[in-house]
Chains A and B, each alone.
Chain A
Amino acid sequence: MYTLTPVDQVGIEERIARLNARSIKKEAKLEALKLALSMLDLTTLDSKDTPGKVKQLCAKAIRPCEAMPELPSVAAVCVYPNLVRVAKKALQGHRINVAAVATAFPSGMSSLKFRLEETRWAVNEGADEIDMVVSRGKFLAGEYDAVADEISAVKEACGKAHLKVILETGELSTLDNVRLASDIAILAGADFIKTSTGKIQPAATLPVTLVMLQAIRDHYYRTGKVIGMKPAGGIATAKLALQYLVMVRETLGETWLHPDRFRFGASTLANDLLRQIVKEKTGVYQSLDYFSKD
């Protein structure tokens, strides 16, 4: 049995509004932009992805901006399992992880056997991290134990690879459900919990992320164990990324302000971060034409 932790939606939204009132300027901003960059899971999850595109993405992951070699690399590159090997090769010699979406991403609508096999295959291909999806159908049907058992099974299949559990919060309807799904995933062995596949709207939102961070915090209070958090999808601007960082800072503190504990799943965010970094450095507003679209 799981304990239901009630969440008040209006209260969450008000907390977000208050956090968003934080004013991040000058060096504090520059520092946060760099931190956000280092927390990126640079992602490409299109069916038209090619090895060439993945290689380009990896180049960007290593050195986000040619003009500013001092900038940090991103945390990981996130691809479909069949492109893991390409990414792994392109990132050789760099401390950048390769994450693979597995378990019949994005719907998860397949047999457990198949999903476990896919997980093992992706790990075999070299994936350092597995981003799995939970069975939202089972969750909404109240089959919480089944959801947990699946997560545990995938965790086992991951072996050494880190497991990120995607709740697909856009399909969970309420924040109470987000909280419950977070608790289930954490107890079942998730290393990270993640909001979304990016294929469903809404994807990551600040309220959903705050609820998940609170679940992580409560687990930490109870056990001392640190679970990571990854909002994914819909975070396209530096301003929004900074709002996430403020939230992390004031909910969980120092330990989570690190790429090992907090990630952004995003594709276009990198360039906006870069644009803002240049703006902070030069004082001149920038055009996206000057940043490579990979």
Chain B
Amino acid sequence: MRNKSEENGMGGQIQEAGAERARIPVLKTYKIYVDGKFPRTESGRYFQFKSPAGGWSANLCECSRKDFRDAVTAARGAFAKWSKATPFNRGQILYRVAEMLEGRKAQFVEELLHQGLTRAQAESEVAASVDRLVYYAGWTDKFQQVFSAVNPVASSYFNFSVLEPTGVVAVLAPEESSLLGLVSCVAPVIAGGNSCVVLASSRLPLCAVTLGEVLNSSDVPGGVVNILTGFRKELLAQFSSHMDVNGVLYCGDSAEEIRKVQTDAALNVKRVSLQPEQDWAKAEAQGPYPILAFQEVKTTWHPIGN
């Protein structure tokens, strides 16, 4: 549709101006996504992504500890409302994210091509990512039914255990799966009512920033998902040690990094979930259990009497 209107309007004018010169494409600025806005890193630093095939590059924010701090503040602020949103509502919003992603398929495919995938691989990854969002959209109002419990205590009490979100989760997203891995990690965290701060893959960062745009245009309240770009080496210790972070989702296989995350987690008894690098397209990469990784069981007692 857009192409057509361009042809009928401005596009035509450009062609008239000089046929020997192609249109200058408008390049996207890859900013970070914090608190529902798209700021640049406070540090003013950036790093360059170069497409492996060459000929295309982009500048990305090299986030600092202060960016992370701001993102945690945003996530903490968003948690109160998001955790209390009805599961139905969260499902609707996640489905809306899927719809928006589907609608912007082309952009993600293009970015995945820049990041070195074949068109077939890229299209398949975007499709799988949309489907994964739909999958978790469907879980939001069901995992509670499957995993909560009414406990038959031996006294005159009604006793039940429900799941409640852990809080603010720091996500160290997969390095090797730019979109599907990211979606597979973030979707269960927010489906369960948590808010999160994500460090995107530093090697393949493009889709993460664009996913932020998708989230922003699809009713996910600002601050629920915050996406930073930069380097693990610098930010891992911040992600694992911040005292207002309740959980860490670590994706990767570095024994050293895992040890660091788990050591720092002890500072405030963070919940740590580990995900190895994997083929995120496989069926086992999804399920209710990733949601449960950041759920707390709350048991309530109430007397039964007159």
A and B touch in the complex (CB under 8 A): yes
Residues B153-198 near A (CB distance < 8 A)? 156-157
Contact of A174 among B303, B304, B306 (CB under 8 A): B306
In angstroms, how far is the closest chain A Cβ from the Cβ of B171?
44
Rounded to whole angstroms, the CA-CA distance of A173 and B306 in the bound complex is 9
Rounded to whole angstroms, the CA-CA distance of A173 and B305 in the bound complex is 12
Q: How many of B's residues come within 8 Å of A, CB to CB?
A: 6
Instruction: Report B-chain residues with C-beta under 8 Å of the C-beta of A173.
Output: 306
Rounded to whole angstroms, the CA-CA distance of A10 and B305 in the bound complex is 6
Question: What are 18 pairs between A and B in contact, CB < 8 Å?
Answer: A8-B303, A8-B305, A9-B303, A9-B305, A9-B306, A10-B156, A10-B157, A10-B303, A10-B304, A10-B305, A11-B303, A11-B305, A13-B156, A13-B305, A173-B306, A174-B306, A175-B306, A176-B306
Residues B289-306 near A (CB distance < 8 A)? 303-306
Instruction: Report B-chain residues with C-beta under 8 Å of the C-beta of A174.
Output: 306
Q: Which 6 A-B pairs give the minimum distances between C-beta atoms?
A: A9-B305, A10-B303, A10-B305, A174-B306, A10-B156, A9-B306
In angstroms, how far is the closest chain B Cβ from the Cβ of A231?
20
Instruction: Report B-chain residues with C-beta under 8 Å of the C-beta of A9.
Output: 303, 305-306
In angstroms, how far is the closest chain A Cβ from the Cβ of B287?
40
In angstroms, how far is the closest chain B Cβ from the Cβ of A10?
4
Instruction: Report A-chain residues with C-beta under 8 Å of the C-beta of B306.
Output: 9, 173-176
Residue ID in chain B nearest A177 by CB atoms: B306
Rounded to whole angstroms, the CA-CA distance of A257 and B303 in the bound complex is 32
Instruction: Report A-chain residues with C-beta under 8 Å of the C-beta of B305.
Output: 8-11, 13
Residues A198-212 near B (CB distance < 8 A)? none
Instruction: Report A-chain residues with C-beta under 8 Å of the C-beta of B156.
Output: 10, 13
In angstroms, how far is the closest chain A Cβ from the Cβ of B47?
63
Q: Which residues of B contact A (CB under 8 A)?
A: 156-157, 303-306
Q: Which residues of A contact B (CB under 8 A)?
A: 8-11, 13, 173-176
In angstroms, how far is the closest chain A Cβ from the Cβ of B68?
48
Beyond A8-B303, A10-B157, A175-B306, list 10 extra A-B contacts (CB 8 Å).
A9-B303, A9-B305, A9-B306, A10-B156, A10-B304, A11-B303, A11-B305, A13-B305, A173-B306, A176-B306
Rounded to whole angstroms, the CA-CA distance of A10 and B155 in the bound complex is 10
Instruction: Say whether chain A's binding surface is mostly helix, strand, loop, or mixed.
Output: helix
Instruction: Report B-chain residues with C-beta under 8 Å of the C-beta of A13.
Output: 156, 305
In angstroms, how far is the closest chain A Cβ from the Cβ of B10?
73
Residue ID in chain B nearest A10 by CB atoms: B303
Residue of B157, B303, B305 most packed against chain A (CB within 10 A): B305
Instruction: Report B-chain residues with C-beta under 8 Å of the C-beta of A175.
Output: 306
Rounded to whole angstroms, the CA-CA distance of A175 and B305 in the bound complex is 10
Residue of A10, A11, A173, A176 most packed against chain B (CB within 10 A): A10
In angstroms, how far is the closest chain B Cβ from the Cβ of A172?
11
Rounded to whole angstroms, the CA-CA distance of A199 and B303 in the bound complex is 31
Residue ID in chain B nearest A11 by CB atoms: B303
Rounded to whole angstroms, the CA-CA distance of A214 and B303 in the bound complex is 20
Rounded to whole angstroms, the CA-CA distance of A13 and B157 in the bound complex is 13
Residue of B156, B303, B304, B306 most packed against chain A (CB within 10 A): B306
Residue ID in chain B nearest A175 by CB atoms: B306
Rounded to whole angstroms, the CA-CA distance of A8 and B306 in the bound complex is 7
In angstroms, how far is the closest chain A Cβ from the Cβ of B153?
12
In angstroms, how far is the closest chain B Cβ from the Cβ of A15?
12
Rounded to whole angstroms, the CA-CA distance of A221 and B304 in the bound complex is 30
Rounded to whole angstroms, the CA-CA distance of A10 and B306 in the bound complex is 8
Residue ID in chain B nearest A174 by CB atoms: B306
Instruction: Report B-chain residues with C-beta under 8 Å of the C-beta of A176.
Output: 306
Residue ID in chain A nearest B157 by CB atoms: A10
Rounded to whole angstroms, the CA-CA distance of A9 and B304 in the bound complex is 8
In angstroms, how far is the closest chain A Cβ from the Cβ of B218?
47
In angstroms, how far is the closest chain A Cβ from the Cβ of B51?
69
Rounded to whole angstroms, the CA-CA distance of A9 and B305 in the bound complex is 5
Rounded to whole angstroms, the CA-CA distance of A175 and B157 in the bound complex is 18
In angstroms, how far is the closest chain A Cβ from the Cβ of B204?
59
Rounded to whole angstroms, the CA-CA distance of A174 and B304 in the bound complex is 13
Instruction: Report A-chain residues with C-beta under 8 Å of the C-beta of B157.
Output: 10
Rounded to whole angstroms, the CA-CA distance of A251 and B304 in the bound complex is 24
Rounded to whole angstroms, the CA-CA distance of A13 and B305 in the bound complex is 10
Residue ID in chain A nearest B302 by CB atoms: A10
Residue ID in chain A nearest B155 by CB atoms: A10
Rounded to whole angstroms, the CA-CA distance of A236 and B304 in the bound complex is 30
Rounded to whole angstroms, the CA-CA distance of A176 and B304 in the bound complex is 15
Rounded to whole angstroms, the CA-CA distance of A9 and B306 in the bound complex is 6
Instruction: Report B-chain residues with C-beta under 8 Å of the C-beta of A8.
Output: 303, 305
Rounded to whole angstroms, the CA-CA distance of A176 and B306 in the bound complex is 8
Residue ID in chain B nearest A176 by CB atoms: B306
Instruction: Report B-chain residues with C-beta under 8 Å of the C-beta of A11.
Output: 303, 305
Rounded to whole angstroms, the CA-CA distance of A12 and B303 in the bound complex is 11
In angstroms, how far is the closest chain A Cβ from the Cβ of B301?
10
